[in-house]
Amino acid sequence: MPPRPGLSASVDLTVSDADTAIAMLSGEVPVLATPRLVGLFEEASMRAVEGELAPNETTVGMRVQIDHMAPTAVGTVVTAEATLDKIEGRRLTFTVSAKDPRGLIGAGKVTRVVVDLERFLDKIN
């Protein structure tokens, strides 16, 4: 069955030192790094369509548009959620959000493209 709007998934992360802006070289503060937040949004987006694609298909990232609105300390649990909103041909657009116990920390859109895995990998050789 092809993906359909409304599919969703969430992922949790307990922020560790390896997830900080310092560790990811994206800042000088010991809080959740924006690149790590993007990774959580991508993971949730992939999980939302898990089992919904043909066996030879996967999705690859195309566009990420997010706001990272609040810091999250090491040791805090972050939950990221993705909901498939729109399908345009092979493009899947997800609404994403993340929260920690204090509230919303990030939100935006992630666009992924459905590809044939073998044909996609042939392009890199």
Q: Which residues are catalytic?
A: 34, 42, 68
In one-letter notation, the amino acid at residue 75 is: G
From CA 107, how far away is CA 97, in angstroms rounded? Answer: 4
Paired with 80 in beta bridges are 11, 98
| Cα–Cα distance measured from residue 71 to residue 49, given in angstroms and rounded to the nearest whole number | 29
Integer Cα distance of 36 and 18 in angstroms: 9
